[in-house]
Structure 1
Amino acid sequence: MTNNQNPSTADDSTPFSSTAWKVSAIFLALVVAALGYLLITGRPSDQPPAAAAATPTSTPPVTESGPPTTSAAPTTSTAPATTQLPGGPSICGLPDGDQTLPVTPPAASWATVGSMAAPNSPIYGPGVISDDGIGNCYAHSPTGALFALVNAVVLTNTKADQFSQVAIVQQRGSRTNLYDQVLVDATKEDAEAGSKMPTDPSTTDKVTVLGYQYIDYAPDRATIAVALGIGQPGTSTYQPSMLTGVVVWEDGDWKWVYSLQTAGSMSPIISQKQYKPWAA
């Protein structure tokens, strides 16, 4: 599916072709490389309980003042050892939770961030909202990775007069690959915001989250495709697309990886079978 917007107004009419989107697009790990398969790796296996030690036997001593006495047998704990996931616990104390991919779309409350709806959960995150209004701290689990990625996608659709782009990069970006360059671009975007008219959400195309599809998951890295509806449904310019992002577990939170290796145009959605519906 192609975007039929008028070339002369495309840069101003859609957040994904605006200056803010172009700046953010460097790190919007795009393009589903293989939506047709689902690879699940890295699930921590349950460790078996420690075997109980054999109880030693002893001959009860005989005393002059009473019947034989017996010594207490040593006790051995049979509780299973705790599995520590790579990268340590969540920075705000959210439990790791279930390490299996969600069979059904997770429950969420949806809050407007900029002009899009973002998922929130007391279980999966964000567990902390910074002074800049940016959600941080997500559960160290497949579902936590999903919440982190979708919230990152929503933040990249904001403008500098709504959220500090530098704060977004510093708080939600992984210190890998293109981080330094993205930070430079975000700094320029923030500096230019003061000379522009405030963003009017009604003048930009509507962008909504439609669903998701896991591509790959391990406890320290997740690749997930997010289904987005760009434009007004029912119009000729409406464009459902899949956007692929990578998050890594870094410093006790899921962080977005900025990479040119998967950069490019978003992949058009051919069928709703490509994703699991999940929306506000």
Structure 2
Amino acid sequence: MGLFSRDPDSDDDSDGEKTSFLEERGFIASAIVIGAVLICLVVWFMVGGRSDNPAADPSQTPSTLVPTGQPTDTGPTGPPATPTEQPTPTRTAPPPPNSHTGGCHDPSPDQAIPRIAAPVGVSWQFEAEMLIPVQAASGPATTSLDGVRSCFAHSPTGAVLAAMVLLGQMQNPAVGIATLRSRVLAGPGKTAALAAAKDDKVTPPTVAGELQFSGFKVLYYPPHATTTVIQVVANLDNKAYGAMPITMQWWHGDWYAVLQDDGTFNGSVEPDILSSLNGYVRFSGAS
């Protein structure tokens, strides 16, 4: 089972405001492309590896995907955009793998929500085939012996980085299951995802496709947030942009992911195929 799911019987967005892209006019060729991208999204970020190293297991029950009454705005619908980036790490010097000053150690991190400009001072590093962002100020400030990254700032930027790093590490067969064990809140969803990950063992690259981050949008981050929702955008095989909401919860001094009971991030919330990155913060290690 993938960590992202799609409800084949659902035609409307969860807030009832966005018409499903399957109802939009378009050429048959466009429909075929969109359908193929949806298949990629269904298996987006499947756990691709096995780890026998024990990791910490938070025990708090996860909250719902999107807090009641909060915005779930998404990008425009229409024919999918065609990304052109190629993955390459940036030249920004990366922070040390373990730090006692940045990330979750910062007692008063910047609480500004990045809505237009991307976070600065970010180094993009390969996590298997995927580039993930790391920053001295917001994290990750800790890397465990089995390679799992943690300790992010209690801030909007910290939550964005935590979501992207988590997703990238879940794509890495070497640390995928260890990441799922230690960076996801305990509950039925985590149990289901672990069971599926052990059954899947390996994520078929010909099915999941090549993924690279392209941007994000902070959908929900109240003052002193303990729960936030980050819409993460990925470039799908350089054919289109796909976006999914990721719920993160602040627990015991760090950000952890929340899974739905079926073991996915999104449950019944439909993936979004974006016609552009308008309204999103462009944030990518590809160039």
Q: TM-score, normalised by structure 2?
A: 0.60
Match of 1:215 in 2: 219
Q: 1:163 aligns with which of 175, 183, 195?
A: 175
| Conserved 8 A contact 1:177-1:257 | no
Shift of 1:19: 9.4
Alignment check: 8 A CA contact 2:109 2:154 kept = yes
Q: Which residue of 2 aligns with 1:85?
A: none
Q: Is the 8 A contact 1:15 1:205 kept in 2?
A: no
The aligned counterpart of 1:182 is 193
CA distance in structure 1 between the partners assigned to 2:162 and 2:181 by the alignment: 15
Equivalent residue for 1:4, pick from 15, 21, 33: 33
Aligned to 1:67: none
Paired residue for 2:151?
137
Pair 1:212–1:2, CA change in 2 (3 A)? farther
Contact kept in structure 1, 2:125 and 2:132, CA below 8 Å: yes
Distance 1:204 1:258 in 2: 20
Picking from 219, 224, 236, the partner of 2:230 is 224
- Structure 1: gaps of 5 or more residues: 24-28, 37-89, 194-198, 233-237
The corresponding residue for 1:35 is 74
Change beyond 3 A, Cα 1:203–1:244: closer
Q: Kindly report which structure 2 residues correspond to 1:27-66, keeping only aligned pairs within 5 A, or say none.
A: 33-35=72-74
Aligned twin of 2:105: 93
Change (3 A) 1:101 1:92: closer
2:43 aligns with one of 2, 17, 24: 17
CA apart distance, 1:115: 1.1
> How many angstroms apart in 1 are the aligned matches of 2:278 and 2:32?
22
Secondary structure at the aligned position of 1:273 is classed as: coil
- 1:80-159 alignment to 2 at 5 Å? 93-103=105-115, 104-107=117-120, 108-159=122-173
Partner of 2:185, secondary structure, is coil
Greater Cα radius of gyration, structure 1 or 2: 1
List structure 1 segments (4+ residues) > 4 angstroms apart after TM superposition: 199-204
Q: CA deviation at 1:203?
A: 9.8
Find the residue that maps to 1:184 and give its secondary structure. helix
Residues 1:252 and 2:253 aligned together: yes
What is the alpha-carbon distance in structure 2 between the residues aligned to residue 276 and residue 164 of structure 1? 27
Shifted more, 118-127 versus 262-271: the winner is 262-271
Going from structure 1 to structure 2, the CA distance change for 1:249 and 1:187 (only over 3 Å counts) comes to: same
d(CA) in 1 for partners of 2:45 and 2:221? 32
Cα distance change on mapping 1:132 and 1:5 into 2, 3 Å: farther
Question: What is the Cα deviation at residue 20 of structure 1?
Answer: 3.4
Extract unaligned runs of 5+ from structure 2.
1-29, 50-64, 76-101
Q: Is the 8 A contact 1:105 1:278 kept in 2?
A: yes
1:55-98 superposed Cα distances (whole Å, 9 cap, x missing partner): xxxxxxxxxxxxxxxxxxxxxxxxxxxxxxxxxxx995233411
| Aligned match of 1:205 | 209
Amino acid of the structure 1 residue aligned with 2:172: T
Structure 1 residue 164, shift from structure 2 partner: 4.3
Report if the CA contact (8 A) 2:216-2:230 is conserved: yes
Cα distance per residue 1:107-140 (max 9 Å; x no partner): 2100000211000011101010111211111001
Please report the TM-score for the alignment, with normalisation by the length of structure 1.
Answer: 0.61
